Structure 1
Amino acid sequence: MLKQRLNLKLSQKLSPQQIQLMKLIQLPTLAFEQRVKQEYEENPALDAGKEKDEFEDEFKNESDEDDHDVIETEFDVDDYLSDDEIPNYKLKANNYSADDEDKQVPYASGTSFSQFLKNQLQTYTFRGDQEDIAYFLVGSVDDSGYIRRSLIDIVDDLAFTQNIYTDEESVKKALKIVQSLDPAGVGARDLRECLLIQLQRKDKTESVSLAYRIIDEAFDKFSKKHYDKLLQKFGISEEKLKDAIEEIEHLNPKPGASYSGNTKSVEHVIPDFAIHIKNGELELTLNGRNAPEMHISRDYSNMLKGYKEAKTKTKEQKEAVFFIKQKLDSAKWFIDAIKQRQETLYSTMYAIMMHQEEYFLTGDERTLRPMILKDIAEKINMDISTISRVANSKYVETPYGTFLIKSFFSESMKNEEGEDVSTREIKKILEMTIESEDKKKPHTDAKLAQILKEKGYPIARRTIAKYREQLDVPVARLRKEI
């Protein structure tokens, strides 16, 4: 039996322009500059600079009654522009001029880590395929300085990719050469081997010799800080063990990272906002690179005027004016979207700044208030997703450092007085408690829970464990020192 039903369903669909606007809002400063540059290249109807063509105002409201064959693509910018007016100077950083030509971040050039190792190999004399194997091994060294592959896998790769047929023993001989290169420890296959290579190069003092034996014969006990077992195994005093451990602690677990000429792409953080304290009050500015001066091309507007004034209009002219109007519409939308982006970014960060006013005035993380995306969204009457886009991709420069905005968000918990406190505040107190503990007898998670409860923060042991892991702090046994 067939039945017919009528269902009413509300759905919200974003227009392509709204989606593009959301993408613009999400872009950090450097990526936004690239996006603006791309738009300039793709749309000749856009010009840079402060000059404003009088046609812009006319274009916004014009209607062309002469060309009924041309499809209009007008839109009402009031539908998506905010009514809030923010002074123009607030949207720019004080230390940046729109007239500055050089906006590129300079990058240092130099020799890559891999090339640095290959240059050293040129001083060696090889036999047969040993040179090719050694260069292949250098190419397998990762950024930390390790070769994290088994010898048999390397043998197979040499056969398949280099047409070199060899065996594990030959690869091991070439590996010894690679492991003799600088920095000490490079070419190791694991941490234990890395430390042993470095200890081999040190002068053979009593503490160095003992350190070598500890890593070579009891690495597992050392890594788990079973000091009592080490004292028993080697029959040594605590003082000698302490000296040996000090030698080990001065070794480099990531020799590749220490290479100063490493030209791996460096990520430069460019603050999108800056917060300053002036006369005891907070002042927020948006990086001026987010507010480019743009206007509609005079040449394009003149072309459209010329078409309207022409007495006869050919098919080719109508096709041309259709193209021109598309570019002008796109340019006008992009200019308005940039203004909307500026206002959205500023409004969001201003609300965050005022919510965390005490922190930005003092720099004390214990004053951070609980804050979730919904709190800010309700304050400025925007969607939570918009706040998330700003918080997850933007940085703010403060008197205490430069931070990702989302780091100021945290859930709340109740203290013993029933007040809402930020989980960030609790983590800071936990971190300070661990820092001040006696490292010979570090606190267990249960003890930490007890200490925080005494300070007015009733937190379960499992929650302490979770926060400790988020702070990248090891368990009590691994924090123990002699």
Structure 2
Amino acid sequence: MALMPGLQINIGQQLKLTPQLQQSIKILQYSALEVQQTISTTLETNFMLELDEDRPEDAEEFASEEEAAEVSDASENEIDIEASDTLSDDLQIDCEWEEVYTDISPVSSSIKSDNDDYTSPENYTSSEVTLSEKLYWQSDIYSWTETQELIASYIIDDINDEGYLKTPLENILADIQEKEPDLLIHLSDIEGVLSVIQQFEPTGVGARDLSECLILQLKALHQNPYVVTAIKIIEENFDLLSVRDYKRIKKIYLLNDDELTEVIQVIQSLSPRPGREYSSTQGEIVIPDLKLYRTKDGFMVELNQDAFPRLTINSAYINMAGDLGSSSQEAKQIKEQLTEAKGLIKSIQSRGETLLRVGKYIVEKQARFFDEGEQAMQPMVLRDVAESLELHESTISRATNQKYMQTPRGTFELKYFFSTGVSQYGSEDQSAIAIKSHIKQLIDDEDPNKPLSDNKLMALLEEKEINVARRTIAKYREAMHIPSSSERKKLNKFK
């Protein structure tokens, strides 16, 4: 059968996202910090967008009708430049920002210093020394040969933030030979330089595994029988120590309970991650999108007004557009910039409205949590919120990922409040978070000499009308990184 070219007409439906909708989806899934960065970048490139810094806060919500009319008239002139999309309906968005940004504007007062340029000493932070800088400083004052100094730089570069050298020495040798073909070195040269670096501070740095790290630290301690025994145990039977098989350790090294306790305490005093003390102490910046306040009528949730700068449209350029001809390049550029500016403001406004709706639902659903804590957490899944707010589950997922709420109990990610329900055989379902909290509380209050088994935990939970299987308790306990009762008993013995 011969193949012949031909024309064919097909009718079908296709769903496409407009640029405005795509931007709204992006802004919704951004964290507060990412939204701030997006605003900052757009302010640098879009002359139609500006910060509303001059307008007093008290006057923002009650913008004059004359100003709104002026902006509206200017927008109409701008629309005549090129008859296409109608944009004037959205121009009042900056004037109504306050109304959308928060349901209730709490009255607040602040006292400012006469000297606005003053910065208190506690706001200054000293520069932090990284592990790499610490090692290079020690290397610089060591009397290396030129070749050894080069090898040391390669080794230090491969030591990770925890202080370990995970790169095999053979790979380091091959890397040096590739980049320095005229340099004649052997594996023994790299081993010799590494042995010197392993004497640097912090003690244990440059180790290739945990056992070597612990041995380096033990050799740096004042030598006594317990230290020597600890070194032998790690060198010869580190696997027994890892699984806490203390009976076999006592039998192999002829130790009684008191001697074993001393040896274990020596090992527990060591640092398994020597480089951690030089890691950055500055935590990730979390900007809460929502704030929760306790009032006499209950809880009030509102958007965090300090999280984002207040945006508005530059009306001067709108007026300028009205004086330009419709065919001028400047007028078309103003129109494009205006469309982008209003689109960003509208996307941020839509984001705020969605977050506020989701936040209100969470506060209503988890009201007991804010009064009583984790043990009062109610089961809640994305589908519950989506059905109540008549939104898609993907929208709720975007609105809760990397979004935080500042509450009287602390700052929590919105996803923290979601938890599956565990069936209670006729009773009200319990949240998995609440059950974990009960388990943790029971273990914290247990007798260290007689830790509670999973069966005992199951019986105690039943007394609180929480019916869960033993395997579920074991799963939750392991998820919280809590050892079994037998392991807890061994650990408590050597505390």
Q: TM-score range by the shorter chain?
A: 0.7 to 0.9
Q: What SS does structure 2 have at the residue aligned with 1:334? A: helix
Secondary structure of the corresponding residue to residue 148 of structure 1: coil
How many Å separate the matches in 1 of 2:168 and 2:109? 53
Query: Structure 1 residues 429, 258: closer, same or farther in 2, change over 3 A?
Result: same
Map of 1:116 onto structure 2: 134
Give the 3-state SS of the residue equivalent to 2:370 in structure 1. Answer: helix
Q: What corresponds to 2:177 in structure 1?
A: 159
What secondary structure is seen at the aligned counterpart in 2 of 1:145?
coil
Query: Are the counterparts in 2 of residues 91 and 342 from structure 1 also a CA contact under 8 Å?
Result: no
Mapping 1:192-211, distance limit 5 Å: 192-211=211-230
Report what 2:311 is aligned to: 294
SS in 2 for 1:221: helix
Out of 274, 284, 299, which is 1:267 matched to?
284
Amino acid of the structure 1 residue aligned with 2:390: N
Contact 2:78–2:335 (Cα < 8 Å) also in 1: no
Task: Indicate yes or no: 2:340 matched with 1:330.
Answer: yes
Matched residue SS, 2:143: coil
- State the 1:59 CA deviation: 4.9
RMSD between aligned alpha carbons? 3.4
For the residue of structure 2 that corresponds to 1:129, the secondary structure is: helix
Which stretch shows the higher mean deviation, 435-444 or 423-432?
435-444
The partner residue of 1:30 within 20, 28, 33 is 33
Q: Which moved more, 1:179-188 or 1:331-340?
A: 331-340
Residue of 464, 468, 482 corresponding to 1:473:
482
Amino acid of the structure 1 residue aligned with 2:208: R
Say if 1:449 and 1:166 are closer, same or farther in 2 by CA, change over 3 A: farther
In structure 1, the residue matched to 2:60 is none
Pick aligned residue for 2:388 from 375, 379, 393: 379
- Structure 2 stretches lacking a partner, 5+ long: 1-7, 56-62
Whole-angstrom CA distance in 2 between matches of 1:64 and 1:179:
72
Is the 2:79–2:86 Cα contact (8 Å) retained in structure 1? no
1:212 is aligned to 2:231: yes
Is 1:367 aligned with 2:382? no
Q: 2:58 matched to which residue of 1?
A: none
Q: Tell me if the contact between 1:134 and 1:177 (Cα under 8 Å) persists in the aligned partners.
A: no
Q: Which amino acid counterpart does residue 57 of structure 1 have in structure 2?
A: S
1:288 is paired with a residue whose SS is coil
Gap regions ≥5 residues in structure 1: 308-312
Mapped pair 1:178 → 2:190: no
Give secondary structure in 2 for the equivalent of 1:58: helix
Contact residue 159 and residue 206 of structure 2 kept, 8 A: yes
Change beyond 3 A, Cα 1:377–1:227? same
What percent of counterpart residues are identical?
Answer: 31
Q: Any conservation in 2 of the 1:427–1:467 contact (CA below 8 Å)?
A: yes
Corresponding residue SS for 1:13:
coil
CA–CA distance in structure 2, aligned partners of residues 74 and 5 of structure 1: 33
Shift of 1:478: 4.2
1:74 correspondence with 2:86 = yes
CA shift, 1:471, in A, is 1.5
Corresponding position of 1:411: 420
Of the three residues 227, 231, 256, the one matched with 2:275 is 256
Residue 58 (str. 1) matches residue 67 (str. 2):
no
The aligned amino acid for 1:334 is: L
In structure 2, relative to structure 1, the CA distance for the partners of 1:354 and 1:335 (3 Å cut) is same
Note the C-alpha offset of 1:416. 4.6
In the alignment, is residue 13 of structure 1 matched against residue 16 of structure 2?
yes
Partner of 2:356: 346
- The aligned length equals 459
Q: What does the per-residue CA deviation read over 1:397-452, in whole Å, with 9 as the maximum and x for residues that have no partner?
A: 22222221101100101225521110111111222333344555655556655554
In the alignment, which of 47, 50, 63 is matched to residue 47 of structure 1? 50
Higher mean alpha-carbon deviation, 437-446 vs 287-296, is at: 437-446
Query: 2:356 is aligned with what amino acid?
Result: Y
Indicate how the Cα distance of structure 1 residues 243 and 93 shifts in structure 2: closer, same or farther if over 3 A, else same: farther
The TM-score, its normalising length taken from structure 2, stands at 0.82
Deviations 1:287-327 (A, max 9, x none): 223443222112211212213xxxxx584x2x332222222
CA distance in 1, matches of 2:241, 2:356: 52
Q: From the superposition, tell whether residues 321 and 377 of structure 1 become closer, same or farther in structure 2 (CA, over 3 Å).
A: same
- Residues 62 and 119 of structure 1: is their aligned pair in 2 closer, same or farther, counting only changes over 3 Å? same
In structure 1, the residue matched to 2:262 is 243
1-structure distance, mates of 2:216, 2:475: 36
- Work out whether residues 91 and 286 of structure 1, in 8 Å CA contact, stay in contact via their aligned partners in 2: no
TM-score normalized by structure 1?
A: 0.84
Moved more, 456-465 or 149-158: 456-465
Structure 1's 357 and 241: CA in aligned 2 closer, same or farther, altered over 3 A? same
1:395 to 404, 408, 427: 404
When structure 1 is superposed on structure 2, of 265-274 and 225-234 the one drifting more is 265-274
Closer/same/farther in 2, CA of residues 149 and 453 from structure 1, 3 Å limit: farther
